[in-house]
Amino acid sequence: MATHLDNQRATVLDRQPAKLAPPPMYQVILLNDDYTPMEFVVAVLQRIFGKSEEEASRIMLKVHHEGRAVCGVYSRDIAATRVEMVRQMAQARQHPLQCVMEPAPEA
């Protein structure tokens, strides 16, 4: 049995180095409402986002005066988890505090 290898051609491809981009980042944002106590917002910022009391108070005041404030910037899964943690903590204490995530602006 004869095998014909004459028609087969070898193809050589240059390997390109893999370019890994960092994952897209998301901002976690607290939204103002007229019913959630300021002390609760500070507690949320400390427990869920690991903020100091001073930084949590500053962010809470920004939410109060401007209607919203960024609590942190995270990868998608972490941001979604933090949003859900805020929702659960607020719901457990019957506060209407809202938290959302948005794509972070490119730096």
Domain residue ranges in the chain: 36-103
Phi/psi at 35 (nearest 5 deg)? -120, -30
Q: How many residues does the chain have?
A: 107
pLDDT bin (cut points 50, 70, 90) of residue 15 is confident
- Assigned CATH for 36-103: 3.30.1390.10
pLDDT bin (cut points 50, 70, 90) of residue 107 is low
- Which tens digits make up the pLDDT trace of 16-32? 788 898 899 999 999 99
pLDDT greater than 80 at residue 37: yes
From the list 25, 80, 22, 75, the residue with the least C-alpha distance to 48 is 80
- Which tens digits make up the pLDDT trace of 45-100? 999 999 999 999 999 999 999 999 999 999 999 999 999 999 999 999 999 999 99
Q: Which residues contact 6 (CB under 8 A, 6 or more apart)?
A: none
pLDDT bin (cut points 50, 70, 90) of residue 14 is confident
pLDDT greater than 90 at residue 105: yes
pLDDT on residue 95? 98
**CB-based burial label for 43 (10 Å; 0-12, 13-18, 19+):** middle
